[in-house]
Structures are given as structure tokens and as C-alpha cells.
Amino acid sequence: MRGSVILMMPLLATLNACATTGDRGGDRPSDASVAAITVSVGPCFGFCPVYDVTVFEKGDVHFSGKRHTAIVGDRDRTVGAAVYGALARDLARFKPADGTTAQVECTAAISDTSSYTITWTAADGRRTVATHQHGCIGGPGKALDGVLAKLPGDLSIADWAKQTTRPGLSRG
């Protein structure tokens, strides 16, 4: 019996090396990876566009115009994974710790401008949120204003998000 066990040890080791234990994650993103980034643009004191835009990791874009936009309602388009990747890189330095909410630092801001809420949604549903007041004249918020200013063009939603004033709609 003892001799049989010793002879089977190399065989068991070989079989164990070939065995799999199910999905090891291979090319699948981890639960902590970001699956989508949403930028919500809030109202200002005037007629600023108010909308949400979500970009998914494969490059699909969902736009939802709320007020003072050329398109009021939902629209979808695809810009490609490379555009998503560029946006994720541009926003990375403003992202708070995973699962938290934080305001992007601004040394001084112009009042009565649009507010921004940037939400990174992980594949597991966990959200990380940064808030920002547009019009920052110093600090990291000034750099974020630059990223956000080019966002509509980068996502090919500039025509949808264009400021449009309609009769009968109030400011804000």
C-alpha cells in the first residue's frame, strides 16, 4: 500500500497541475474596475444646459438632456473604447478613494455657475463620486474645468448639449 501511494504521488501532482478551479478572472475586469463614468451637469442661475451623460467602458454613450439643451430627452451613440479610456485617464486624478464621495478642491470659484457630479460606477455597482463647482480660478478644480469643457466635443454630444433657451422655461 505504501508503495502504491508513493507511485501515485507524481501522477496526482501532474493531474493537479492540469486541473482548473473555475473562472480565474483571466480577461474579465475585476469588480473594482470602472464600468461606466457619468457626468451630471447641474443648473446655474441662468440658462445653463442641464444634462447627464454616461460613458460605458466599450464606448457607448447615453445622453439625457434635462433643461436648456438642444435635445431634451435621451439619446445614445457609440464613440469607441479609446474615447472612454481617454476620459478615464483625464478624470483619474480627480477621482476620490473607491466607494467615497469628495469635493474637488478649488481655491476660489465664481458663484452661480453649473455644478458637476462625476460618478465612477464599478462593475460590482459600487460608486465613487466627485463633486465640483464650475468656474474654479485655482487649485485642482481649475484643471477639472478644462477637462469638463472639452467633454461634449470628445463624446460627440456637443450638438445635443448645446445651450438652448425655450420660451416659458425659467432659469436654473
Mean pLDDT, residues 69-74 taken together: 97
User: How far is Cα 66 from Cα 79, in angstroms, rounded to an integer?
Assistant: 22
Give yes or no for a contact between 106 and 138, defined as CB atoms under 8 angstroms apart: yes
37 phi/psi in degrees, rounded to 5: -125, 125
Confidence of residue 168 (pLDDT cuts 50, 70, 90): confident
Element (DSSP H or E) covering residue 81:
helix 81-92
C-alpha cell at 156: 460627440
CA nearest neighbour of 88 among 117, 62, 57, 60: 57
**Residue ranges with strand state E in the chain:** 34-41, 50-56, 60-67, 73-78, 101-103, 115-122, 127-133
Q: Describe the crossing of helices 81-92 and 140-154 by its angle, rounded to 10 degrees.
A: 170
Question: pLDDT over 90 for what percent of the chain?
Answer: 69
Cβ-based neighbours of 105, under 8 Å, separated by 6 or more: 139, 140, 141
pTM, two decimal places:
0.80
pLDDT tens-digit series, residues 110-145: 888 999 999 999 999 999 999 999 999 988 999 999
pLDDT band at 12, cuts 50/70/90?
Answer: very low
Q: How confident is the model at residue 153 (pLDDT cuts 50, 70, 90)?
A: very high
Mean pLDDT over residues 18-25, rounded?
33
Domains of the chain: 34-161 (3.30.1560)
Which among 47, 69, 66 is positioned nearest to 152, based on CA atoms? 69
Region 100-106: mean pLDDT is 95
